[in-house]
Amino acid sequence: MRRMLAAAAAVLVVGIGVLTVSSASTAATSQADRLRAIETARLQALVDADTVTARELTAPDFQLINPAGAALSRDEFLGGVGADVIDFLSLDTISPVAVRMSGDSATLRYQTRFDLVVAGIHLTHDAWTTALYERRDGRWQIVWGQTTAVPNDVGMFLGSLKPAH
C-alpha cells in the first residue's frame, strides 16, 4: 500500500512539474511572440516615418550603433527619420527573429534587408540586427540596437583588407 501511495505521489509530482514547465514555456513563447510583434511594428514605423509610434517603442536612453559605427541617441536617430535625413524605403526581416528572455530584459537577433537614403546617399544592404529590450512600467521598449552590414560585394570587401605590417 505504501509503495502504491509513493508511486501515486511521484506521478503527481512529475505531472505538476510538467505542467509548470509547460506553462512557463508557453508564457515565454507568448512574450517572445509579443516582442517579435513589437519589433515588427517599430520597423514599420521607421519605414512610415511614424516617429510618434517609434518614440513610444524606444526608451528615452536608447542608443543605436549603426552600420557605419556611429552611436546615435533616440533623439538623433528619430530626429533624422522625422527630418527625412534617414529615409527607410524598406526595412524587412529576412530571417526568423530569435528571442532570448531574461527577466525584464530580452535580446532579439535577426537578419534584415534595408533600403534607405541617408543624407542623400542611397544604401541597400543585408545586415544582422541585435536589439536589447527592457520591460519598463509594464511595457517593452528597445534600449540598445546594433546593426552590422553584410557586404554586398564580398570580393570588394576582402580586397579592401590590408595585411598588418
DSSP 48: T
In a domain, 165, yes or no: no
In a domain, 26, yes or no: yes
Indicate the SS3 state at residue 60. strand
Structural domains counted in the chain: 1
pLDDT in tens, 109-138: 999 999 999 999 999 999 999 999 999 999
Under 8 Å between Cβ of 125 and 150: yes
User: Does residue 156 have a pLDDT over 50?
Assistant: yes
In a domain, 47, yes or no: yes
The three cell numbers of residue 92 are 524587412
DSSP H or E stretch at residue 110: strand 105-118
Residue percentage of the chain with pLDDT more than 90:
72
d(CA 31, CA 13): 27
What is the pLDDT, as a whole number, of residue 21?
Answer: 40
pLDDT in tens, 28-56: 679 999 999 999 999 999 999 999 999 99
What's the CATH number where 48 sits? 3.10.450.50
Under 8 Å between Cβ of 130 and 142: no
* Mean pLDDT, the chain, integer: 85
In a domain, 31, yes or no: yes
Give the residue numbers spanning the domain of 103: 2-160
DSSP 138: T
Q: What is the pTM (predicted TM-score) of this model? A: 0.78
Backbone dihedral angles phi then psi of residue 79, each to the nearest 5 degrees: -65, -40
Q: Which of 124, 67, 66, 128 is nearest to 97 (CA)?
A: 128
